[in-house]
Amino acid sequence: MVNQSVLKIVISAFMLYCPVLGAADDATHVYEKASAGIVLIKTDKGAGTGFTVSGDGTIVTARHVVDGATKVAIKTQSGDIYDDVSIVAEDERRDIAILKINGFDLPIVSLGNSNDVKPGDRIFVIGNPLGAEKLKASISDGIVSGLRDLEEGYKVLQLTAPVSPGNSGGPVLNESGQAIGIIVFRLREGENLNFAVPINYVRGLLASSEKSQPLRSWKKPEGTTSLFSEKVTLQPGKWKSAKTGAVWSVRIQTDHLYAEKEEPEEARKLGAFQTLETKKKGNKYVGSIHTSYVHWVMNRITGEKIVNKSCTVDFLVEISVVSSDRIEGRQFLPLPNAKFDSKRCRFLGDPAWQDLVLIPE
């Protein structure tokens, strides 16, 4: 006769293990169904993701992926490159663009119904992190953590699935492998705060794009090579401060330059962060450095760190040089020996302009 305690342990282990197998099977099914329809979009400004929705070459992406570009090329999972690309419909408010290439019998990503999406639904994201070909068609998973109204005339899906620069324009997929959203942005101040535009906003654009003339097109000039073969000056993702050694993740998106400092995991869990957000004005990028300061105490019994005060302070920043091997400017920061008043959430003493120099890590 089987010992009852042993039987309970076996049953518990089985119940814990089965969901993991099911999750892996779901991810494999979704990847096999949708990954062939994922495309890598390269421009003279950067790179992003799109997905094919018709066999003749209709592609959905985020508008900011191609906005402001003078060159655009698209590479499919099979390795085919298309240098002649048109934009046939766009929704600036919701950050959606419909592109067209001259394809035939291309694999597609089928569309779901975003009206059926509920918080707690399991989802998958397939895209091209950092716009890198070596990382193309990477899959991650998570859940829909909320349906949010931005009070700007449309709604978004809040997701927990990890995304990176380069994932923009990629599909959010349900467990059936259908696209129910498009990755459009993430909040750098939080961990896994990522957002997608519901796919039903795309359906109307697709209907109108079938009858409309191209809004604009990008043609490969005669005698030039493709964006995928020529050496395009793209900014490396990781940069290091020449002064402090701190590592920053940098992203350039049309006329914006964003950066996020890599904080130690323990500090990040407590809520500490430092991000940079600038916009090009003339020959400079001008904006702010957002810094979250966290004051914590140690629980002497458990050893756990408990936050008792946190606040965010903004400082001015100007970037005057952006090249493939150097980012240079200045930042209006407190002096290195300035003391921080956590009660008033401010530094004591006057800030001053200080040099900012970043080099590729």
Distance, C-alpha 87 to centroid of its chain? 22
CA 292 to chain CA centroid, Å, is: 21
The tokens for 256 are: 């914006």
What is the Cα–Cα distance from 253 to 234, expressed in whole angstroms?
11
Residue 46 gets the label, from left (phi > 0), alpha (psi -120 to 50) or beta, of left
What pairs with residue 260 in β-bridges? 249, 275
Quick one: which of 49, 312, 11, 19 has its CA closest to 164? 49
Q: At 87, phi and psi to the nearest 5?
A: -105, 120
Residue 256 among the catalytic residues: no
Q: Which of 140, 145, 164, 168 is catalytic?
A: 168
**95, 138, 140, 145: which one is catalytic?**
95
β-strand partners of 42: 47, 73
Tell me if residue 95 is catalytic. Answer: yes
Residues with catalytic roles:
64, 95, 168
